[in-house]
Amino acid sequence: MRCHEAKRLLNEGDINNRELVKHLNDCSDCAREAKAAGLIHRSLDSLRQQDQPTPTPFADIRARVESHPAANTRKESSRMAELTHKLTARKKLSFGLGLAMAALLFFTLVPFSYDRVVGYDLEISGIEPGNMINIDPVIMGMTGLGYDNISISTNYSSTETSVWITGLPHEKAAQEASAVFATLTGLEGKSEYTPKVEAVSGSLYAQVKENLFSVEITVSGETPEEMKASVEAQLESMGMTGGEAVVTQDGDQMQIEITIPGSDE
């Protein structure tokens, strides 16, 4: 038996396979991995047999959640869209030794519809009139770069020729398209790209579902300014334009308040 096969059996938990046992006697590398596998296996078994801690009585959890301020803000919020509401009263993250800082996260959420950038359009204008443009090499060139959903349209007038390239997934694609066009046609023009925005109406659930709502925060070694910039950049990248993060530090407590501007629901 080869190491490759041995590792596959280990992964499947087939640790008593006779061929495997034989291999383990000869191969210290796999033997160590088998020891690790055994430890994990037995640890999982042991925890499975452990008694489950008593669950919180259902009535208690219901009362606790129902009486939480965050559970009762929905109705007002749709009436007063500009009012901000704290969704989660307090999210406390505790950190282990060596990181004596606790970060409090306040997510201030308002029902809103947010704009999501779904792609970019590129316009190349001001091309010398009189040239018929062969767009096929441009399409081939872009396909070669992995952009296979683009389309190109041309507009000829007596004073200038312009070209639209649509279906570009991101800014970099727009820049590449501009370069590809210039290289393959030898024509020069003024390139301008615009984001194509799609309005998404925002239930919070939709954002959670789409995983839009996780913001990564580095707690150590970042100044409040850096943290603010990083959070805002992330919001922006999630299509939440105008999101604002306010970071305040008070002793060893850091508070981050994130506000996303509301529009009507």
What is the longest distance spanned by two Cα atoms in the chain? 83
Binding-site string for other proteins from residue 209 to residue 248, where x marks contact by CB under 8 A and - marks none: x-x-xxxxxxx-----------------------------
- Cβ atoms of 166 and 177 within 8 Å: the answer is no
Question: Helix, strand, or coil here: 65?
Answer: helix
The CB-of-41 to Zn ion minimum distance in angstroms stands at 18
Complete DSSP assignment for 88-109: SS-EEE---TT---EEEEEEEE
Query: What is the CB neighbour count within 10 angstroms for residue 104?
Result: 15
With CB under 8 A as the contact rule, the residue among 26, 82, 92, 186 that binds other proteins is 92
Q: Report in angstroms the alpha-carbon separations of 178 from 95, 156, 157.
A: 48, 18, 21
**Rounded Cα gap, residues 34 and 11, in angstroms:** 9
Q: Kindly report the length of the chain.
A: 265
Site for Zn ion in 24-83 (CB under 5 A): 27, 30
Q: Which stretch binds Zn ion (CB under 5 A): 3-11, 141-149, 184-192, 215-223?
A: 3-11
The CB-of-90 to other proteins minimum distance in angstroms stands at 9
With CB under 8 A as the contact rule, the residue among 4, 16, 18, 26 that binds other proteins is 16
| 165 near Zn ion (CB under 5 A) | no
Q: Which stretch binds other proteins (CB under 8 A): 68-76, 129-137, 222-230, 239-247?
A: 68-76
Partner interacting with residue 30 (select from Zn ion, other proteins, none; CB below 5-8 Å by kind)? Zn ion
Q: With CA atoms as reference, report the closest residue to 252 among 59, 103, 92, 70.
A: 103
> What are the tokens at 142?
């872009």
Give how many residues touch Zn ion by CB under 5 A.
4
**Rounded Cα gap, residues 189 and 162, in angstroms:** 8
**Rounded Cα gap, residues 30 and 13, in angstroms:** 14
Phi, psi at 104, each rounded to 5°: -105, 130
Partner interacting with residue 37 (select from Zn ion, other proteins, none; CB below 5-8 Å by kind)? other proteins
Site for other proteins in 122-161 (CB under 8 A): none
List of residues contacting other proteins (CB under 8 A):
7, 10-17, 32-33, 35-48, 50, 52-53, 55-56, 58, 61-62, 64-66, 68, 70-71, 73-74, 87-88, 91-99, 203-206, 208-209, 211, 213-219
Which residues form the interface with Zn ion (CB under 5 A)?
Answer: 3, 6, 27, 30
